[in-house]
Every structure is written in structure tokens, then in C-alpha cells.
Amino acid sequence: MITNLGIEENKEWKCLACDELLKLDKVRIDYMNGSFTVMLPCCPMCGMALVPEEIALGKMLEVEKLLEDK
Amino acid sequence: MPTALYQTPALKRLTGPVLRPGGLDLTRESVMKSDLKPGDRVLDVGCGSGAAGEVLKGEFFLDCVGIDVDLGGLGSGTGLSVAEAAAQQLPFKSDSFKAVFCECVLSLTPDMGTTLGEFYRVLAPGGQLILCDVYLRNKTHWQELKQMPLACGFRRGLGEKDIHKYVSGGGFDNICWEDLSLLLSQLAGQAIFEHGSLQHFWADVFGGECGASRRACDAIRASRPGYFRLIARKKNL
């Protein structure tokens, strides 16, 4: 799931399926043949992770350019 | 001598005790690619914390000896045989090792030719040199890199051809080169996730954003750095 709120603002998000507050946790992202560990708000029950827009469009875009060797 | 990149807390946080792209999995893979057998005597040049030496000893049952110019970072209780020594002046008899592991260290030595000559000397005939390091895919920014107030492999400004020339000039043959640049990109990607951008990572390395950190970041990026593994053999006389 992607949101346009920042990580700090995501503290009160709840997982709809589990009714659990999301907590920041280390998540492994496999992306373009690379594997990275990122802190993301996650559901402690089912593991669903929320990707804030700042990561999707900021850091991930920079990583994408790096991996594409641009 | 400027501060070394591997000594900075920013890199230590990023890579853990191994301090290089690929981590210990790359060391494991290198052993698999070699023809080493349990009991073979091997040298780990720049053993640092001793983490790779422990893998060589504990997982592959190799008789591993480590050297480093500074053994201060050696983990307690590693049980590794070590000596404080420089790579270009090894305190070992000639023809005494089946393999020399030199992972992300050669580019930091003051004279690569002398260092490779020492590796050749201590290797037994037919012994293997297992080398991993950074290289540049665009050498046009070598002057900016050389001026960086930070000791790191990028400053050497070497391309693939230069490295081949050094290794073959040292007497080695059966040179096998593998491009592992994805591992360096992956490490840089992790730095972006942790610091927000590569500029912020280099600022952390330099202790705060400054002209030197910006110039280093720009010159390294423009040089399109890569990472390689090279396995070569000392001639069987």
C-alpha cells in the first residue's frame, strides 16, 4: 500500500484486516535485482507494509536510477 | 594520510563489520569458485574484525592466517591466527599459502605492484589469488578523486585494464575477471534508504555537509564505480 503521508505521520494507521496499529519495522525490499532493508510501518500481525510517498518517489527513484546505471 | 573510508562510522553502520560490498556471502562464493580443500593454508589480507577469517576457518575448515596494519578492530575470541603487518611486506616464507584473499584492500595499499609481488612470493606454485575491489568505468574524473581528503579505493582511479595489467605484470596467469558492480550499487542503494540520498551519506562520512563531501559524491558518481572479483593463479613451475 502506498500513502502520501510521511513516516512520522503514519503512526496512527491501522491494518484493516487485523485491526492492529502499524509499527515501524525493518522490511526487506527486493527491487530491480537488488535487496534492501528499510524501516517501514508494518502490521505486527500479517506483516503488511505501508510505503510512504516520500520513499516511493524519492529514495526508490534514486535507487532505481542507480541500479539502471544512469 | 587522510582518514580511511573503512574507519568511518557511516560505512561501519552500512556494512557491519565486513566493511565491503557483498559481505561474507561473497567470501563464501569465492571459496566455492576456488579449488581449495579443507586444511589448506590461506592468507586473509586486511583481516579487520576477523569475520571473513572465521568463515574461512569455521565453515570451510581452511587453515587461515590474517594480517592487518591495525589489529585493533579484531573481534575478541575469533581464535584466528593473526599478524600485524602491511600487505606490501608480508612476514611469511615464500611458497607458503594455497590462496591469498584480498577483499577491498589492494586499492588502499601504497604500491600495488609491490603488494602483488608479495602475494606472488608467498603463494605456493599453482596457488590462487582471490581479489575483490572497486574500479572505475569512467576514468575522466581521476584528478578530482585523487584530491579527496579520504583514503578509499576510488582515489586510486583504476580501470579494468589497469588492474589486469598490474596482475599479469605481477606474474599471475589464468586471470578470471567477474563484474560484480551490482553489489556496489546495492550498497549505495542501501545508503540512499538509510540516509535519504548519496549526498547525505557522503556528508555523514565527512562529518557534515561540506564542499569536500559534495565534490566526493559528484566525482564518485560521475566515475561510474564498479566492483569486481578477480581470481588468478601463480604459475606452476
Residue among B189, B197, B198 whose CB faces A67 most closely: B189
Residues linked to residue A25 through DSSP beta bridges, in sequence order: A40
Query: How many alpha carbons fall within 13 Å on the CB side of residue B96?
Result: 11
Give bridge partners of residue B4 from the DSSP assignment.
B151
Quote the pLDDT of residue A51: 87
The ipTM, to two decimals, is 0.72
Interface size, chain A vs chain B, as Cβ–Cβ contacts under 8 Å: 37
Q: A67 vs B185: CB contact, 8 Å cut-off?
A: yes
What's the mean pLDDT in B106-113? 93
Which residues from chain B sit within 8 angstroms of residue A67, using beta carbons? 182, 185-186, 189
- Who contacts B220 (Cβ-Cβ below 8 Å, separation ≥6)? B145, B154, B202
Return d(Cα A63, Cα A56) in angstroms, integer.
10
- Spatial distance between the Cα atoms of A19 and B216, rounded to a whole number of angstroms: 47
Percent pLDDT > 90 in chain B is 70
- Min Cα separation B189/chain A (Å): 5
Task: Please tell me which residue, B209 or B228, carries the higher pLDDT value.
Answer: B228
pTM of the predicted model as reported, rounded to 2 decimal places: 0.87
Using pLDDT thresholds of 50, 70 and 90, give the confidence band for residue A8.
low
Task: Give the integer Cα–Cα distance in Å for B133 and B131.
Answer: 7
